[in-house]
Structure 1
């Protein structure tokens, strides 16, 4: 019998206890989603790593297949960075990866520090209480990814709408999602043309040069690659910033510990990444290309396998007391950024953004606190990621 999935509507940052029950008793469980055929959900850490890294589980094979999913339309596109297997995937990933190395990201840190301080100045000027999401999370994410790609101020609303549509599940209708996605696609085509006429030393300019000077990218590959990196680096950042600040402020002892020992911030961010369930439900399924056994269950060739890395990050076989946020412990090898060929290419940038933001908050706003009860914070709905819709703070 297939379990109905998702198990329940998301509530704040609570992870449905069904994941823990399945991990213990039915770690490779049959599930039925609102759309598509039935699939398998893995919940153990070891099985999750296998599905993410083993070549017998294919992302490329999902294209055009009636995969289990939470929205009616099929959105996986042939040739996309998210829908390719090695070695084709590696060719596209290498072109983007150079922009996200630790060395390159470190060169962006001074600019990031200036942006964060400017946003906090504006938040102060707005007065107390201030909405941290509106004043900091959203503009920080927009500025970072827009400057990386060279998106001008005038085009950022189109980018915002397209990104929101790409990650919407029920907040928009299928028709609205298609319209906004098409508009963002048209805008990226415009930007590509502009980079050809006016070369620039940003990520989009680098990708255009790879297409025009060395003929390494097709036109479709170029636009799809820009699309994936833009969208993935935007909404997740907005939500994770809000999630971390809410998590630290929701229990004042947590924020006090971070303020008291700022030198431990980097390790504590890793524990926050492990603990916080950013995703609402399993996404990006794989297709088994042959019969594969996981935790004693044989997954037949052709079946879809789903996973939620946040469930794997709560596996007691890997993490001590995993249901507890331990800011003084070791986060271990969490899977918040994935694993294997599709490990998040922007992980270093995301870590740097979080470190710069939180370290600046600790230094400038040691007395920061929620302006409302933690349970009264409103949360976003109808998308792929969890995050506060509004986060009123005072100091």
Structure 2
């Protein structure tokens, strides 16, 4: 039995009222149970900004749920292509391997380096927008936000046009496999698409080794080296899988939530229309003000037992660093319940910290910034046409339907 600092509060991330607005709940937990024993997940949730920021840096908490044991022999035998795509994933690498790979690839994912890909991002977003009606009601999630991120990644990797459809199918399957609690049958149903997509990825890697391209992310990854140490083909495959998983869902939900909050705060929408350069600031403020997590937060696992503020953390247990609550903590900003796209908050724990800072954070911001700017430019008139409809994803408060009425007039 986990130690619980209170028996009165219950954390239920699937309560419809919580899904619609989790922030009053977060406030109660910050005040009454800042470190909460969550029986359902057999771990603890940390709600206060000061604790989240301290623990996100704590080396006793790691990202690997297996604590180094890797994938089981049964999974390797049943789904070798899936394991090959994920076994060198930055999320599960041991610290020494993680540090080595991050050192090689981090320089390729900074804001300045990714600027070379902006023209293709802009072009893909424009193509998606041109297929939307000039006026009427559209679903921001399904009609717009969901339709560009994987295409951007395919373009950055220069996936051949004839293979793009199967690459996107693989991407969709990889994203689906992170859904916890999948039945064995459903999990297995995604494997054929992953196997076909892996064949494409391997062929593209082999071709790019022989025929490097300019301004091509995969060419840069292949060329990345330090003292003659290069990425293996297996590491390249897993990096591509990680880029797909980490760089797609985040961008889709960030785009959807940003448009929703701007429509809920028309004075902020007016500010952004007056100064489109504030788009990136609007995205960061959306992540601070109303992020799309289900409520657990960044998941870490206890590698070395320790106590924190009187609570014992045991080896193997998960610790959920609730960044959504932390970013609405008055200790972080003085007016946390105000949505202000001109806010400058500096460091934010949303994308992680230090060696586990999200590798695709700059890419997600680049994509969503272009999407937001072009969406507002295409539609001078936008208004909510109904309330958001939330899905049942166990990790995200995913909006499956955000109806808005738009017009090019």
How do residues 33-112 of structure 1 correspond to structure 2 at under 5 angstroms?
33=40, 38-60=42-64, 62-63=66-67, 79-112=88-121
Distance apart, 1:12 and its partner CA = 5.2
Q: Is the 8 A contact 1:319 1:332 kept in 2?
A: no
Number of the residue aligned with 1:176: 186
SS at match of 1:136: helix
The residue that corresponds to 2:26 in the other structure is 19
Matches within 5 A, 1:366-381: 366-370=380-384, 372-373=385-386, 375=387, 377-381=388-392
Task: Give, in whole Å, the separation in 2 of the partners of 1:294 and 1:15.
Answer: 25
Distance 1:164 1:80, change over 3 A: closer
Q: CA separation in 1, counterparts of 2:167 and 2:233? A: 22
How far has the Cα of 1:364 moved from its partner?
Answer: 3.5
- Give the TM-score, by structure 2 length: 0.80
Deviation at 1:57, TM superposition (A): 1.4
Q: What is the DSSP-based 3-state SS (H/G/I as helix, E as strand, rest coil) of the residue aligned with 1:129?
A: strand
The residue that corresponds to 1:31 in the other structure is 38
Query: Take 2:91 and 2:334, find their aligned partners in 1: how far apart are those partners?
Result: 32
Aligned to 2:267: 253
| Residues 331 and 283 of structure 1, relative CA distance in 2, 3 Å threshold | closer
SS in 2 for 1:285: strand
Indicate how the Cα distance of structure 1 residues 346 and 364 shifts in structure 2: closer, same or farther if over 3 A, else same: same
1:319 Cα offset (Å): 1.6
Q: The residue matched to 1:349 in structure 2 has which SS? A: helix
8 Å CA contact 2:108–2:220 kept in 1: the answer is: no
* Contact 1:188 1:226 (8 Å CA) reproduced: no
- Measured against aligned partners, the alpha-carbon deviations of 1:53-107 in whole angstroms (never above 9, x if no partner) come to 2212122463478xxxxxxxxx996542002353321212233323312222111
- Trace 1:376-391 onto structure 2 (pairs within 5 A): 377-391=388-402
Assess, with a 3 A threshold, how the Cα gap between structure 1 residues 245 and 190 changes in structure 2: closer, same or farther.
Answer: same
What is the rounded CA distance, in whole Å, between the counterparts of 2:270 and 2:230 in structure 1? 51
Q: In structure 2, what is the Cα distance between the partners aligned to 1:280 and 1:173?
A: 21
TM-score (norm 1): 0.83
Alignment correspondent of 1:70: none
Taking the aligned partners of 2:299 and 2:64, their CA distance within structure 1 comes to: 10
User: 3-state SS of the aligned residue for 1:368?
Assistant: strand
Structure 1 residue 342: Cα displacement: 1.0
Q: Which runs of 5+ in 2 are unaligned?
A: 70-81
**Counterpart in the other structure of 2:164:** 153
Change (3 A) 1:379 1:196: same
C-alpha distance 182-60 of structure 1, shift in aligned 2 (>3 A)? farther
What's the CA shift for 1:176?
1.3
1:193 paired residue among 180, 203, 221: 203
Aligned to 2:79: none
Change (3 A) 1:9 1:186: farther
RMSD, aligned CA: 3.2
Q: Secondary structure at the match of 2:349?
A: coil
Quick check: 1:166–1:231 contact (8 Å CA) kept in 2? no
**Residues 6, 97 of structure 1: CA spacing in aligned structure 2 closer, same or farther, 3 A cutoff?**
farther
CA displacement at 1:189 relative to structure 2: 4.2
Equivalents in 2 of 1:308, 1:178: separation in Å? 32
For structure 1, list consecutive stretches of 5 or more residues without a partner in the other structure.
66-74
